[in-house]
Chain A
């Protein structure tokens, strides 16, 4: 199985500052059919189901604020929130969907400093 490892486990950032979350896969998650990485980012607020923010490592879903961006390739990926807002407090998960079983990172808890 592909192991997804996120860092850090928790993060506190001031409002308006940049937040960066990293995700590393234990092997390549490049999808040969389109040469894109099968990497998704989710946001889960307390008491809610997860929400898909980004797929294919960098494609933002419709309606997701443009302060959220994804980058990376190969085995290293990053979610960046360019200017943290209070409503961004949540746990963030990365996930690979290239090779069964789909696997998630352990989550990164993002708080306001």
Chain B
């Protein structure tokens, strides 16, 4: 079964850090761009970051540039989002998605709550 599974969410204070992970299975992970998409409570979808197949091309939404870092380990079929200097407005469900001209595989998401 083709799937991705996120982990690492939780409650963190403003200014804190969190590391999200995404494990892919059932497909050749190294063949695909991968993305993080978030959804604040009761709000719409927002693309956060993506990464090409070999990790050499990275993109970020302006609001997270300089704070978030995306990376991957193709040997372990894993994608990571390191989130530093977290703000209350980063509170959201974070989804990992396979990026194949449209996000065709999504995880169930992991909730990140930034609050004191």
Say what secondary structure dominates the interface of chain B: strand
Q: Of the candidates A52, A93, A105, which one forms a contact with B104 in the assembled complex, judged by CB atoms under 8 Å apart?
A: A52
Cβ–Cβ < 8 Å partners of A40 in chain B: 101-103
Query: Which of B20-28, B44-52, B67-75 forms contacts with chain A?
Result: B44-52
The answer to the question of B11 belonging to the interface, with a C-beta cut-off of 8 Å to chain A, is no
- With both beta carbons as reference points, the residue of chain A lying nearest to B106 in the complex is identified as A49
A55 and B44 in contact, given A49-B108, A102-B35 (Cβ under 8 angstroms): no
Interface size, A (range): 20 to 34
Interface size, B (range): 20 to 34
A interface residue numbers (CB < 8 A to B): 38, 40, 42, 44, 49-52, 55-56, 61, 93, 95, 97, 100-107
A31 to B45, CA, bound (A): 23
